């Protein structure tokens, strides 16, 4: 009995983060309360506050976990090797998978509410996008070296365009509930990088 209680206690923070992440990805950070999470998990608000003293701490934990999972996905793409265009396609697939689950990129949703968020969360959001752009910059430089991509400008500028384009395509595809709409936009964006390659 004690072991079951201990396992449940260890699992509670993950369950809280899972529920909160889903709510943020569907409603935004300002669109849910601790009461919503407590009701969904059938726990007390005091239990939520025990694990995450305030909503700001919960938000920081959400971004930290999401960014770590995203970094793992990028590491997996790197681990498979392959050409730069293949890596970019795999990157865009991460976004498509989020849309298939009827959600939005967590940090994209939070960016829409940026001015209303605590400073630590704002810093973490920028860190997430900076990390993604840095990874993309490396892939784009790989593409230039291997001759599979041709950039009109710097790799950093192209990386910003990719992140902005995919986040925007995700946002616009959401009300249509149409993953194909997102994929068409992503394909056009990524194809434009290869169009002038020799």
Q: What is the pTM of this model?
A: 0.89
> Would you state the pLDDT for residue 9?
54
Span 28-74, pLDDT tens digits: 999 999 999 999 999 999 989 999 999 999 999 999 999 999 999 99
| Closest C-alpha to 157, from 185, 187, 186, 136 | 136
31's CB contacts (< 8 A; 6+ apart) are: 23, 24
Residue 106: alpha-carbon gap to chain centroid = 5
pLDDT-derived band of residue 194, with 50, 70 and 90 as boundaries? confident
Label each residue of 2-30 as H, E or C.
HHHHHHHHHHHHHHHHHHHHHHHHHHCHH
CATH annotation of 2-194 = 1.10.357.10
CA distance 122 to 44: 28
Span 177-188, pLDDT tens digits: 899 999 999 999
- Helices 155-173 + 84-100 axis angle, to 10: 30
For a pLDDT cut of 70, what percent of the chain falls above it? Answer: 93
Sign of the CA dihedral with 17 first, then 23, 28, and 34 last: negative
CB 83 within 8 A of CB 148: yes
Tokens of 97: 């998978």
Tokens of 182: 């997102």
Residue 97: alpha-carbon gap to chain centroid = 11
| Closest C-alpha to 168, from 111, 127, 93, 83 | 111
3-state secondary structure of 137: helix
């Amino acid at each position: 009995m004690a072991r079951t209680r201990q396992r449940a206690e260890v699992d509670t923070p993950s369950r809280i983060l899972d529920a909160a992440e889903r709510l943020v990805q569907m409603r935004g950070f300002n669109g849910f309360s601790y009461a919503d999470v407590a009701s969904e998990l059938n726990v007390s608000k005091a239990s939520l506050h025990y694990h995450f003293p305030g909503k700001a701490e919960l938000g920081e934990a959400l971004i930290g976990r999401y960014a770590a999972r995203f970094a793992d996905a990028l590491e997996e793409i790197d681990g498979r090797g392959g050409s730069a265009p293949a890596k970019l396609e795999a990157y865009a697939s991460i976004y498509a998978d989020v849309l298939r689950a009827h959600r939005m990129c967590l940090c994209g949703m939070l960016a829409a509410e940026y001015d209303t968020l605590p400073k630590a969360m704002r810093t973490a959001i920028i860190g997430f996008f900076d990390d993604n752009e840095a990874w993309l910059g490396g892939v784009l430089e790989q593409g230039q070296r291997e001759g599979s991509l041709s950039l009109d400008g710097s790799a950093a500028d192209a990386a910003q365009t990719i992140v902005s384009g995919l986040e925007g395509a995700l946002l616009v595809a959401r009300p249509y509930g149409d993953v194909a709409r997102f994929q068409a936009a992503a394909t056009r964006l990524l194809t434009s990088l290869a169009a002038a390659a020799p």
